Amino acid sequence: MGCTSSAASDRINTNDPLEEPPPPQQGDPRLPLTARQKFSITKSWKAIQRAMEDVGINMFIRLFKTHPEYQELFIEYKDMSEEKLRNNLNFATHCGMVMNIFDEVIDSLDDVDHIINLLNKRGRKHAKYGVKPEYVKDIREPFLRAVEELLEHRYTEKMEEVYKSMIDFVLEHFLHGLQENEG
């Protein structure tokens, strides 16, 4: 207790082979998610993966309700009712392809270079279709609401912040690719 031999044994031995582990690696500073947020979004995304096409359809229908002029840009879906859109195989396929981009982003959270290259490439591809930056920015809220609808009670305020950070990151790099050839 107070004797010198116990005090000496309480000292840390600097030659001990069991050193303190190194601090956890910091994530890529370009990705606006902490390790805990990455874990949370990856875990919640599993529910979305099981219904990606439906989430994509709900996202686009919300976008078209808010911005009917965007539906007119899709010649194939122009003037289609919501019911016809929901039952259109080509529309479902397109929505699934868009959601697959989000899926690849979530799946690649440890490879930010890959994510940025993917999003820039998709942005450049959409620039060829005449997509304008404002069209892309307007997908944010429909995406968040479609995710919220699927996750229901699991879509907490904290989870919403994680998804907002993720969609903002996605849009930033998609827009970068979209705008590369402008000017």
pLDDT of residue 21: 52
Of 24, 173, 22, the C-alpha closest to 112 is 173
* Averaged pLDDT of the chain: 89
Q: What is the pLDDT of residue 28?
A: 87
Which pLDDT score, from 0 to 100, does residue 20 have? 61
| Per-residue confidence (pLDDT) for residue 180, from 0 to 100 | 85
Percent helix, strand, coil in the chain, to 5, is 70, 0, 30
Task: With a cut of 60, say whether residue 4 has pLDDT above it.
Answer: no
| Residue 45 structure tokens | 């995304």
Q: At 26, is the pLDDT very low, low, confident or very high (cuts 50, 70, 90)?
A: low
Mean pLDDT within 69-90: 95
Q: What is the pTM of this model?
A: 0.83
pLDDT per position as a tens digit, 127-142: 998 889 989 999 999 9
Percent of the chain with pLDDT over 90: 78
> How far is C-alpha 105 from the chain's CA centre?
6
When pLDDT is averaged across residues 85-113 and rounded to a whole number, the result is: 97
